[in-house]
Every structure is written in structure tokens, then in C-alpha cells.
Structure 1
């Protein structure tokens, strides 16, 4: 059988092309992940800084409110007359040693020196085992009744007269007896407790000494600051 005269098909050789493994795509994805991580970190840092600033401002508001209540307690002890135009929740009172009770009625507290010597923070859980100004969870005498619908304390916002001026227990809201205006912007009006002691003062006979403890609230009732002062009557 005669051989075919048709020439065989010649394959054309293509120029060399390097093999591509997707390295550029991987690098771009890595850069995107890194940039995204940096952006998220910067946003979190910004939010953290804003939260810290807000907490610090809240704490400062509570501290200033506590200072206001502390001075109000000192005015209460000193018998300062309510300013004209003010609306105290209760009539001005004269604070006498006989008015101080273990139940802290109307914010006036008394304990024996022997009792103070036995108080232990770790085991305190009631009025008989704690100092009056300790937190309520430790048996403190603040009385956290902030319900204006059926309150057991005099109302300060809005100010109104109260029939419980001589019988309410716990701390005294700001301006109750002095007519000091309520503080705006705080979650709860600041309040104070007054404790009575008898102490020997150098160069003087045994005399009455009062400790005023006040607590202030910030924009929420979870933010609280407690301050104290010692008051010596003239």
C-alpha cells in the first residue's frame, strides 16, 4: 500500500509562560486582614477611652454631690435657717443627743464605744453588727428606699412636705431640713447620716463630737461616693 504523501501536522511551540500560584492574591488578603485588625483595634481603643472618660465624669459628679450633702449635714447640725424661697421637706429641727437612736431615725445614729470595738467588716450583715455608714449589704443604715410613689423618706424631687419627718429611718436626703435645692442630673439625691460620740478633747472637757457621713450618686445609682467629716459644735 503506497505511503501517504500528506505531511504530518506540525505542532507550534508557544513561548514560555511561568506558572502562577496566586501569591499576589494571598498577599492582598493578608494586607486586608491586617488593616481590618488595626481598624478594629483603633475603634475599640477609642470606645474604651470614651467609656473611661464617661466613668470618670460620673464619679466626679457623685463626689461633688456627696460633698454637697456633707455640707448640708453640717448646716443641719449647726442649726442654719433655710434660705428664703426654699422649700424644706421637714421643719427646721434642733439636734439634741437624746434624739440619736440605734435605728438611725431621721438620720441620727448612735452606737456604744464597745460596739464599735467589735464590728468586723467580714461578718457584718445587720444594724447590730456594722457601723451605720457601711454599705447596706453589710448592714449599713442608709435605707435604700428611693421610690417616690410610696416613699418612707421625705421627697426632694419635687420638694414637698412630709409627714414622716420624725419617724423615717436611714439617711437624710439633701435639703430635707435646710431647704437646699435638689441637684439636677443625678440619679438619686445625695444624703447624709450623723453619728454622735462623746470624746475628751485636749484642753477641753468631755464634749459632743459628731461624724457626718454623706454619699452621692452619679448619673446612675450604681456610681456612689462616700465622704466624711468630723463636726465639733462651737
Structure 2
């Protein structure tokens, strides 16, 4: 008996093409997921750096308040800021004063805090307030010391006595040089 050889049908290759398309779609999905993870990681790192700068600015703000209330934290000498005795229009040593009843005529921190303000935050420094020692807390690792400027404002509201206010402007930086935070507060001791 002679057999006739069976000849299989030729395949069109549809499975191969479909598999390649499916593999391409999965590859694109994987690449997109990796890019999204990288972007989210960068966003969280930038947010962390901004929070570090904000913490440093808040610490400097509290430090400046203690500076005003009691003594000079940089020398640890009892030097109460009483009225406007240490302030002048040239902002010597970071203390600005423009005259009785006059607020800052311009945004003075743009002039005197370029690129940093004149007064430095001193980490670990101890000074006293109401006979209680205050230690300036340590800054987070890699964060430079913030700087600040104090502007004296002397006002007499109608029917009241003379009041002294102090506008504190703080410039703080995160671990990255481009992350800068400015905080400003009007403080009345």
C-alpha cells in the first residue's frame, strides 16, 4: 500500500503577530509604571526637602522670639531688646527701624536678606528666658543654618500707650540649595 504523504496546511502566523503585539503592550505598561514610580520618588524627596526647610525656618522663628524676649543667643550675654535701642535705619546687625509710627517703607528683607539675612541661627546655643535655659535645637542633617532679620515697629494706637512690635523675617534652606522657605511673623513680646 502506498501512502500519500500528508501535507500540513501552511500557517498564517497570526499567533506570532498577536503575541508580539501583546508583548509590546506589556512592555509599554512596565516602562510607564517605572517612570511613574521615579516621578513619585522625586516628588516625595522634594516634599521632604521642603519640610526640612520649613522645620528649620520655624526653629529660627522661635529662636528669634527668644532673642527679642530675653537675651542675645549668639553671645549668651543678657542683652534684652528693650524698645528700639539696638535698631537703626541701616539694619545694622540685622535690626531695622524706620521711625516712630512708620512701618517698613519697602520690602526690606529683599535688600538685607540677599542672599542670606544678617543674623544666624546658632545650633546648640543655650540662653535663658525667665530663668529657664533654652537650648537651640539641632537642625536636621544636611540643612544649613537659617538666617533672620528683625524689624522694629513702634505704634501708638488711639487711646493707648506706646507699643513695640517686631517683624521677624526668616530665610531657611533645605538640603538642596534650590529649596528656600521664607517665613514672616509680627511678634509682640
Structure 2 distance, partners of 1:99, 1:218, is 31
RMSD of aligned Cα (Å): 3.0
Q: Is the 8 A contact 1:103 1:141 kept in 2?
A: no
Q: TM-score, normalised by structure 2?
A: 0.75
Question: Match of 2:94?
Answer: 107
Runs of 4+ in 1 over 6 A off after TM superposition: none
Query: Structure 1, residues 202-232: CA drift from partner, whole Å, max 9, x if none?
Result: 6522322211111222112211222122122
Point out the structure with the larger helix share.
2
Identify which of 197, 207, 212 aligns with 2:163.
Answer: 207
Identify which of 169, 174, 177 aligns with 2:121.
Answer: 174
Query: Structure 1, residues 103-140: CA drift from partner, whole Å, max 9, x if none?
Result: 42211123464862xx4xxxxxxxxxxx1223xxxxx3
Structure 1 distance, partners of 2:50, 2:158, is 38
How many residue pairs align between the two structures? 175
Query: Structure 1, residues 136-181: CA drift from partner, whole Å, max 9, x if none?
Result: xxxx311436xxxxxxxxxxxxxxxxxxxxxxxx431113885735
SS state of the match for residue 40, structure 2?
helix
Q: Is the 8 A contact 1:174 1:182 kept in 2?
A: no
Question: Match of 1:141?
Answer: 112
Change in 2 beyond 3 A, CA 1:89/1:47: farther
Q: Is the 8 A contact 2:148 2:170 kept in 1?
A: yes
Structure 2 distance, partners of 1:91, 1:213, is 23
Q: TM-score, normalised by structure 1?
A: 0.63
Unaligned stretches of 5+ in structure 1?
A: 1-11, 83-87, 120-130, 135-139, 146-169
1:33 aligns with 2:4: no
Task: Identify the range of structure 1 (12-21 vs 192-201) with the bigger mean alpha-carbon deviation.
Answer: 12-21
1:225 aligns with 2:181: yes
Question: Match of 1:150?
Answer: none
Bigger radius of gyration among the two: 1
Change in 2 beyond 3 A, CA 1:188/1:114: closer
1:49 aligns with 2:49: no
Point out the structure with the larger strand share.
2
The Cα of 1:41 is off from its aligned counterpart by 1.0
Identify which of 55, 70, 74 aligns with 1:79.
Answer: 70
Structure 1 distance, partners of 2:5, 2:75, is 100
Q: Is the 8 A contact 2:143 2:174 kept in 1?
A: yes
